[in-house]
Structures are given as structure tokens and as C-alpha cells.
């Protein structure tokens, strides 16, 4: 199996408003341009379909993540790049999903609570801080940051394009993408950014 036929799950975890969905929007076309089959499981979309009816207790949150992980596992073993963009606040269930899938790249989408509150386009933090939403991650429910993620995207310091390019660079280094895959005409700036990250990370 060539590198470009390998499936992998890219798991973006972080607070609401950290930038998971925005990075995903930039990452998908980069991967498709390199010949990858890509499917996205966005936390908000999953909750209205696959996990409809679940609440926000720890048990329900873990069930939601296990369901996303199950689908990602099916996709990954069939050569698809599965991108999960979900808050997934608890370390234990993220580790459980990692062990189930195997080909798993954890991406910590890092942003401070203060920044996420400032970005609060849906007004969810405002409601949570006012006590109108219970068990809200980062306010009244904990978020457990990854200890050893494969990639950290600091969205207070990086553009979404830079964060997506950092993930692509890691996928190349880890053997999930051919190093020469993609069209130079469309992605010359992206390639430059990826090469910078590779130079920084490779010994």
C-alpha cells in the first residue's frame, strides 16, 4: 500500500471557538488536492444526527466521542482520511479512541478561554457564564488538554492556513502523504509553509 492509499484519523480537539472547524475547512482541500479521500465528522453536525438525543453529562459526552471514533475507524481502515472536529474534553475517552483506531493523529487546537469568549459568535459562552447553559466545557465543565498531541495549532498565533499546513507537514513526516503529492501551481505557498514546519520538527 502506498502512502497515499493509507487512511488516518485526524482528531482536532479544543475548546468551543478555538478554531477546529475553520482549520478543517482549509485542511480538506489541501488533502483532496493530494489525491486523498476525505470525510469530516464535525461535532455540531454529529450531535444533530448520529448522536441526536444525547445530553452533556460526562457519560453522554463519552458516548458521543465513541460514536465518532467508531465511524472514523471504519473510514480509516478503508483508506479514507477521517477528520473529527469535536471538543472531546476528556483524555481517557480520546485515548480509548486512539487505541481503537491506531492510525490516529491528535491535533490540539489551542486557544485561551478568554480568546474563545471573544470569538463567541454563537453567544454560547455568554449564556454559560450567565448560568443559562449548564455543563459547558471551559466554564462549568472541565477541558483536559492533550499531554502529547502529534500537532499543536495555536490559533492565537497562527492563521487557519498555517495551522492546516502544519497538519499536512506532519502527515508527510509520518508517512500518510506522499512528499511530492499535490499541484505546485495551486499550493506553492502552502508547500513553503509545510517545508518550514518540517525543517523545524525534523532532527
pLDDT tens readout for residues 103-159: 999 999 999 999 999 998 889 899 889 888 888 898 988 999 999 999 999 999 999
88 is catalytic: yes
Instruction: For 136, list phi and psi in degrees, rounded to 5.
Output: -95, 125
Where do we find the cell 450531535?
A: 47
Cβ atoms of 46 and 16 within 8 Å: the answer is no
Task: Residue 106: give the domain boundaries.
Answer: 3-201
Cell of 167: 497538519
pLDDT band (50, 70, 90) for residue 54: confident
Tell me the C-alpha distance between 81 and 121, whole Å. Answer: 29
Where do we find the cell 513526516?
A: 173
Which member of 21, 51, 88, 163 is catalytic?
88
Number of folded domains in the chain?
Answer: 1
Tell me the C-alpha distance between 66 and 77, whole Å. Answer: 16
CATH number for the domain harbouring residue 28: 3.40.50.300
Instruction: List, for residues 64-91, the tens digit of each pLDDT value.
Output: 899 999 999 999 999 999 999 999 999 9
Predicted TM-score (pTM) of this structure: 0.85
Amino acid at each position: 500500500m502506498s502512502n497515499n492509499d493509507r487512511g488516518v484519523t485526524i482528531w482536532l480537539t479544543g475548546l468551543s471557538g478555538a478554531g477546529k472547524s475553520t482549520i478543517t475547512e482549509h485542511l480538506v482541500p489541501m488533502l483532496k488536492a493530494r489525491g486523498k479521500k476525505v470525510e469530516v465528522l464535525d461535532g455540531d453536525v454529529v450531535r444533530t444526527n448520529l448522536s441526536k438525543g444525547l445530553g452533556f453529562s460526562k457519560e453522554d459526552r463519552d458516548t458521543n466521542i465513541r460514536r465518532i471514533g467508531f465511524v472514523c475507524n471504519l473510514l480509516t481502515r478503508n483508506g479514507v482520511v477521517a477528520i473529527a472536529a469535536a471538543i472531546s474534553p476528556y483524555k481517557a475517552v480520546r485515548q480509548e479512541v486512539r487505541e481503537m483506531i491506531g492510525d490516529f493523529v491528535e491535533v490540539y487546537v489551542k486557544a485561551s478561554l478568554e480568546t474563545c469568549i471573544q470569538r463567541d459568535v454563537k453567544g454560547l459562552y455568554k449564556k454559560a457564564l450567565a448560568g443559562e447553559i449548564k455543563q459547558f466545557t471551559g466554564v462549568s465543565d472541565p477541558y483536559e488538554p492533550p499531554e502529547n498531541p502529534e500537532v499543536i495549532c495555536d490559533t492565537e498565533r497562527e492563521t487557519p492556513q498555517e495551522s492546516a499546513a502544519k497538519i499536512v507537514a506532519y502527515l508527510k513526516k509520518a508517512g500518510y502523504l506522499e512528499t511530492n503529492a499535490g499541484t505546485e501551481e495551486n499550493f506553492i505557498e502552502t508547500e513553503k509553509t509545510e517545508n518550514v514546519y518540517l525543517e523545524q520538527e525534523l532532527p
